[in-house]
Amino acid sequence: MSGHRIPLRKNLPETTDPKRIAEKLATYGVISRKEAEERIERIRRIPAKAFSDSLSVQFGVNLTVDEAFNLIKGIKRFSNYQKRRKLLKDELRISWEEAKRAYELYKAAKCEAIREAIIFLAGASPSGPRGRKAELVSVPNVGRCLNLSLNTTLLRKCYREIGEGKWRGMRGFILSLMLTASNPEEAGVDFSLEDLKRGVYIPEREEEAYAVGLAYSYAYMPQYPSNSVLVFEGRKRDRAFFKHISTVMEEIYNIRSEERVINRPPSTQVLGGKVKRFSQYEQPTIIYCSKALCEHLVKDHGFPTCLKEIRESRIPEHYMSSKKFLKGLLTKVVVVNPLGERPHLVYIRKSRKFLEDLQILMENCGVELSSSIRRRGRSFGMYVGVDSTEQLFEEEFIDRPKFLEEYTGN
């Protein structure tokens, strides 16, 4: 899993042809090809308009937009600063020192165009359930839209102007222009640039209770904090339900997942003191790469990040009366339906303290609980009595269709 990253939306074609760029943008379903092409053409003329206006104000030199556009094309033919400055001196008939100032006006005009290109690309990026994304915003994409070669010096100047010195780099553009769903300062966790582009959203605590319960039941962080990856793993029977998990996570956190099915080889495990053999199976897997999401789960919900923490994990205190959190947890119970007997539930964890907390949580949520906790190999099982099991199903604490089938025997 090391170094794994969820890919952002693909870069635009490596071309400056507005027709091809517009065709690609139209595939994201936010803007039509015709509208995208027109916007690109307008944005490309912004430097000429801004440059023309500035020259008129600063030097009294009156150039039409078309004349300024052609002058900029001439500037772009030279890579050498001195040659660019000489061109401005000769074409505008100004002094050498004034040509230096004119070149600064040209760079400022490009910054204005860069700002508009970023806003345009963010607007062409599909939004999520929780708000804006800026997945198409990148230095190469901005350069392709503007038909400009963007260098570090120019970008730093633009960052300072637009970001007001508060944030640096492309991060500054996205935050200053409010092109993302969350405000990192309000969320209280660190957002990577990719988090901002993907529009990762950190919701209110109770709003995410069900999703956090799902994470506690199915997810783990294999390499936190060196690699901020949250992985959900299930069994073959969970494949359909994992689509539901993916939908819930996107609705709550505004983040898409990468979904995989991994072929697991045959294995042997000791469960309840007995050796059990498992045949090869397909394991549904959902992967999220997000510094903000992982840090939020750890910092705000005490999510365990290693085996030691998993064995000592507890239910977050703020969820000790949350029905939503309980419903999330109970999506991973085992329904035991012995022949001729009423069915009951078993919930398995590596932490006994977690199961003790679960007993209290159920009682706090109005469940008339009859249960016991027993060791199961290296884990523990919470065995829920038949009457309590019936109540959990009747009051829809458990509403997963697969479990309803197993409970009723249908």
Q: Which domains, and CATH codes, for the chain?
A: 1-183 (no CATH), 206-312 (3.10.28), 327-408 (3.10.28.10)
Residue type, 49: K
User: Above 90 in pLDDT, residue 273?
Assistant: no
Question: Does the CA dihedral 284-290-293-294 come out positive or negative?
Answer: positive
In contact, 229 and 1? CB cutoff 8 Å:
yes
How many other CB atoms are found less than 10 A from the CB of residue 18? Answer: 19
Residue type, 188: G
Q: Read off the pLDDT of residues 91-103 as tens digits, 9 standing for 90 and up.
A: 999 999 999 999 9
In contact, 177 and 142? CB cutoff 8 Å:
no
Q: Read off the pLDDT of residues 158-217 as tens digits, 9 standing for 90 and up.
A: 777 665 555 567 887 888 888 899 888 888 899 999 999 999 999 999 999 999 999 999
Q: Read off the pLDDT of residues 77-91 as tens digits, 9 standing for 90 and up.
A: 898 999 999 999 999
How many other CB atoms are found less than 10 A from the CB of residue 275? Answer: 8
pLDDT at 299: 96
> Is the whole-model pTM more than 0.95?
no
Average pLDDT of 329-353? 90
User: Above 70 in pLDDT, residue 234?
Assistant: yes
pLDDT at 5: 42
Binning pLDDT at 50, 70 and 90, where does residue 243 land? very high
Which of 147-156, 169-178, 395-404 tops mean pLDDT? 395-404
User: Above 50 in pLDDT, residue 38?
Assistant: yes
**Average per-residue pLDDT for the chain:** 89
Task: Report percent pLDDT > 90 for the chain.
Answer: 64
CA-CA distance, 232 to 285, in Å (whole number)?
6
pLDDT at 163: 57
CA-CA distance, 204 to 319, in Å (whole number)?
13
- 248, 254, 260, 264 alpha-carbon torsion, rounded to 10°: -60
User: Bigger pLDDT: 292 or 270?
Assistant: 292
Residue written as token pair 């300062």:
185
Binning pLDDT at 50, 70 and 90, where does residue 1 land? very low
Instruction: For residue 140, give both structure tokens.
Output: 């190469």
Binning pLDDT at 50, 70 and 90, where does residue 258 land? confident
Which of 119-123, 280-284, 302-306 tops mean pLDDT? 302-306
In DSSP terms, 376 is beta-bridged to: 379
Average pLDDT of 130-159? 84
CA-CA distance, 241 to 246, in Å (whole number)?
9
Question: Does the CA dihedral 141-143-146-152 come out positive or negative?
Answer: positive
pLDDT at 6: 46
pLDDT at 3: 39
CA-CA distance, 400 to 335, in Å (whole number)?
11
Backbone angles phi, psi at 297, to 5 degrees: -60, -40
User: Above 50 in pLDDT, residue 283?
Assistant: yes
User: Above 60 in pLDDT, residue 327?
Assistant: yes
Average pLDDT of 299-327? 96
Concatenating the DSSP letter of every residue in 192-254 gives: PHHHHHHT-----TGGGHHHHHHHHHHEE-TTTTTS-EEEEE--GGGHHHHHHHHHHHHHHH-
CA-CA distance, 154 to 100, in Å (whole number)?
15
User: Bigger pLDDT: 396 or 148?
Assistant: 396
User: Bigger pLDDT: 287 or 283?
Assistant: 287
pLDDT at 376: 87
User: Above 70 in pLDDT, residue 9?
Assistant: no
User: Above 80 in pLDDT, residue 154?
Assistant: no
Average pLDDT of 304-310? 95
In contact, 366 and 252? CB cutoff 8 Å:
no
